[in-house]
Structure 1
Amino acid sequence: MNSFDQFLTDRRFRSSMQTSEDQRNPFENDFSRVVFSSSFRRLQDKTQVFQLDKGDFVRTRLTHSIEVSSLGRSIGLSVENRLIDAGILSPEKRGHIPSILATAGLVHDIGNPPFGHFGEWAIQDYFRRFFRTNFTCADALTPAQQHDFIYFDGNVQTFRVLRKLHYIKDSEGMNLTFAVLATIVKYPCSSLEGNTSEGGILRKKFGYFQSEAADYADIAREFSLSGRYPLTFLLEAADDIAYSIADIEDACKKGLIGYMEIRTFLEEGLQPISLSEQERDADFITLFTDLYNDVAQSYKNKLELAVQRFRIVVQRFMISAAVDTFYAHIDEICAGTYNKDLLENSWASNIRRVFKDLGQHIFAHKTIIEKEVVGFNIIHYLLDEFVEAVSSDELQKNPKQPRLYNMISSNYRFIYEHFSDHSLYSRLQLAVDYISGMTDNFALKRYRIFRGIE
């Protein structure tokens, strides 16, 4: 087997000094950089599922990211122990894998726009229309640059945020380690190469904008990557485990799903003929029924408590499945030839699919769709205003355009003015950087002010 040490180098784009008193490993240092960043703080007002929610129970992007970080650390510890015991990883590297995954879990959604995944679709839709009607702008961009906008993705924006959009002392942004940056890139290809049903999961979407293509190339060379960085599979599993079950928990709290609905999905999705041996032994249908019946009838939130207890068991089950599958395919993963989703290819694939189907059922609820439409319209409106402002060559002639330009975050404007080529591509990115960096309520407030509603 390959030595895993090669994937745990502490290289950064700019060298970073640590004092002798600082006993953290380099990836724990990254963790602290993220925790104290403004982009991470803004996740507290970004949608996970329930947009513009007034309650304090349902998850936001911030709480979801903390949960992914926790799960990632747990998975990393289990994988690390196996690799060390097998002689694949040096004992002196102990602690590095869980630290990388904990940090990557914190940042994996840091580039997501307001209003959840519907915010991504709103940006994509806007630019498809924009390029169809603005031929001059379309002709000024390469096909790959156009695709960066019409296939906009929050995970790709995350890589850009970490590399370019945190001005601290120079153009290197947060200056995180290559290992953490590599972990968040799920699809190691450009927007022109990805977004296709061909090529397995590695080409399903894309991983970096043209503006950061050289950065990713440096990272890929450092680790001799021909596919995904190995720990990306584990981060993806942690993310799937976190949201697939937690979304159901939140939906119960909101009253969007009941006991019989959950039980029906379990019964239909866990047919005995298709189950793995481990899934049969777990007997999730009986387990869920027993957990529900064990809660006292006098307890007001009976279903919520049963689902919370069920979540604990299922998460533990899926973590074990992800660890086993990763270790079983370690040679392919290190060689870059493994091209499957860990959980879908594991002995937990059926229970994972049940929760995925349950999630789709919840997302189709009227209350969620109504707020998604609101978010969609807000983002379209803001893009209309700011794209016109940044793409116009008449900033000094039209009194509205310079005013809108000056409303963009001074941090983003400084980065654009000092570290970009001022091309149309860079100007359009400036508008998208600003809007995708907004929180849900900030975007709503901007919309209401511009429309004269308040």
Structure 2
Amino acid sequence: MLAPYACHPDASRGRLSEERMSTFRSPFQRDRDRIIHSSAFRRLKHKTQVFVEHEGDYYRTRLTHSIEVAQVARTIAGVLGLNSELAEAVALAHDLGHTPFGHTGEDALAELMAPYGGFDHNAQALRIVTRLERHYADFDGLNLTWETLEGIAKHNGPVTGPFADPKHAAEPLPYALAEANAMWDLELSTFASAEAQVAAIADDIAYSHHDLHDGLRSGLFDEADLEALPVTGPAFAAVDRLYPGLERMRRRHEALRRVFGVMVEDVIAVAKNRLAAAQPASVEEIRAMEGTVIRFSKPLYQELKAIRSFLFTRMYRAPSVMVERARVTAVLRGLFPLFMARPDLLPADWREAVDQARDDVTLARIIADYVAGMTDRFALQEHARLLGGGEAPLRE
């Protein structure tokens, strides 16, 4: 049973290109399934989370991260009476627009695209699901429902208007987002559905949890470091009380699963309190609120900030990671201008679009689509082949 403030599938605003309803699946189930079967989703298995994809088989990739986010989103949505299928669809789609090499690659591509309208991975995800996936006979993209598109666009909050993040208020709307919004008004000045908000908080929970795992495995820090932090310290202490002398890897896992549980339970408790106080009668009332209903409590948020500050210093900006960041930045800085100067080097199925490009802006956006879609290893291979004298690899 869905709560009155949930997104009900029979009340969906539909799809941009009208389709017959599925006999067996709800509209949001179809969205989820189309995302899973998309080319962009498959490529996430070879796109970095923090460590470059080839650095180790045990580290998270964008694909495993997205699966973990979807699991958290399903759990929270189910407890709150929300539509878990929509929450899962948004969660699975939220990283489709990521470049190779994670945020390092995004920073590099944003710099290269600055003269041509910039680059933003959330906006690129919309471009993928509305334009770049070209498998269906009747439409470009995946023809997702309005609710899923809205969730991709606004899961981190309003993009325009008084409630938008002030850090980005003065910036122009990313062109990919503007294009999608021009096709179908996504009401960018309002908050998204509670399901999309769940997907956003699930992203925070998943990466806060698994980056601790991956950082420990990498050796960039150890358990003693985490024992000095809020949330993680009490978790290790609780495991030691219950399981004295536990083997190291089991101790680590038991402690971090408790950290995971603390975050999920906190979000659920806060959401229940906020929903009980506001008594929203519809998803429209959720969108019209002056803040999110899905969030961490203030005390836990402050504690998580301390953990993220630790991760930033000891993991995201660790010397060995910074060396790799510089190397992969150079890869994109080499490939993008090369393709701008020599678009004939693009694969044949991309050159048709290039031939129709009216100006450098259009050309740059086509090349950004191509480069952003590369996996880590394909980008490294192409850079070696075209600029470093390596052998030509098989094309993806």
Which TM class, normalised by the smaller chain length? 0.7 to 0.9
User: Does the 8 Å contact 2:28/2:148 carry over to 1?
Assistant: yes
In 1, Cα distance between the equivalents of 2:340 and 2:40? 22
The match for 2:192 is: 229
In 1, Cα distance between the equivalents of 2:270 and 2:336? 40
The match for 2:97 is: 111
User: Does the 8 Å contact 1:241/1:315 carry over to 2?
Assistant: yes
Distance 1:115 1:214, change over 3 A: closer
The match for 1:447 is: 383
The match for 1:368 is: 321
SS in 1 for 2:342: helix
Q: Which amino acid aligns with 1:380?
A: R
Distance 1:203 1:216, change over 3 A: farther
Sequence identity (%): 25
Residue 289 in structure 1 maps to residue 264 in structure 2: no
Distance 1:41 1:324, change over 3 A: same
Deviation at 1:112, TM superposition (A): 0.2
1:5-84 matches, cutoff 5 A: 8-19=11-22, 22-80=23-81
In 2, Cα distance between the equivalents of 1:421 and 1:220? 26
Q: TM-score scaled to structure 1, two decimals?
A: 0.74
2:272 to 292, 303, 324: 324
Q: Which amino acid aligns with 2:321?
A: I
Q: 376-385 or 340-349: which moved more? A: 340-349
Deviations 1:105-144 (A, max 9, x none): 111101100001011111122244xx4xxxxxxxxxxxxx
In 2, Cα distance between the equivalents of 1:98 and 1:215? 25
Deviation at 1:300, TM superposition (A): 4.7
Deviation at 1:338, TM superposition (A): 2.3
Residue 255 in structure 1 maps to residue 255 in structure 2: no
Deviation at 1:69, TM superposition (A): 0.9
The match for 1:408 is: 347
Largest Rg, 1 or 2: 1
Q: Which amino acid aligns with 1:367?
A: S
Deviations 1:367-389 (A, max 9, x none): 21111111111011011111223
The match for 1:213 is: 178
Deviations 1:193-215 (A, max 9, x none): 69xxx855376477964355253
SS in 2 for 1:44: helix
The match for 1:239 is: 203
1:55-454 matches, cutoff 5 A: 55-80=56-81, 97-128=83-114, 131=115, 146=116, 148-149=117-118, 152-168=119-135, 169-186=137-154, 200-201=164-165, 204=168, 209-217=174-182, 219-220=184-185, 226-231=189-194, 232-266=196-230, 285-292=233-240, 294-295=242-243, 297=245, 299-321=247-269, 323-324=271-272, 327=275, 328=277, 331=280, 334-339=286-291, 342-343=294-295, 346=298, 348-361=300-313, 362-390=315-343, 402=344, 404=345, 407-408=346-347, 410=349, 412-413=350-351, 422-450=358-386, 451-454=388-391
SS in 2 for 1:435: helix
Distance 1:346 1:330, change over 3 A: farther
Q: TM-score scaled to structure 2, two decimals?
A: 0.83
Report how many aligned residue pairs link the two structures: 378
Deviation at 1:248, TM superposition (A): 0.4
In 1, Cα distance between the equivalents of 2:351 and 2:132? 10
User: Does the 8 Å contact 2:47/2:100 carry over to 1?
Assistant: yes
User: Does the 8 Å contact 2:46/2:376 carry over to 1?
Assistant: yes
Deviation at 1:355, TM superposition (A): 3.0
Distance 1:383 1:113, change over 3 A: same
Q: Which amino acid aligns with 1:265?
A: L
Deviation at 1:290, TM superposition (A): 2.5
Task: Point out where structure 1 has 5 or more consecutive residues left out of the alignment.
Answer: 82-96, 132-145, 271-283, 391-401
Deviation at 1:294, TM superposition (A): 4.6
SS in 2 for 1:348: helix
Deviations 1:3-42 (A, max 9, x none): 65589515111112245xx321111111111111111110
In 1, Cα distance between the equivalents of 2:25 and 2:290? 32
Deviations 1:414-435 (A, max 9, x none): 5666xx7734322111000000
Deviations 1:254-310 (A, max 9, x none): 1221122112222xxx7xxxxxxxxxxxxx643321214655647252553244332
Q: Which amino acid aligns with 1:452?
A: G
Q: Which amino acid aligns with 1:431?
A: I
Task: Point out where structure 2 has 5 or more consecutive residues left out of the alignment.
Answer: 392-396
SS in 2 for 1:251: helix
In 1, Cα distance between the equivalents of 2:270 and 2:200? 10
Deviation at 1:351, TM superposition (A): 3.3
In 2, Cα distance between the equivalents of 1:305 and 1:171? 46
SS in 2 for 1:452: coil
In 1, Cα distance between the equivalents of 2:95 and 2:220? 25
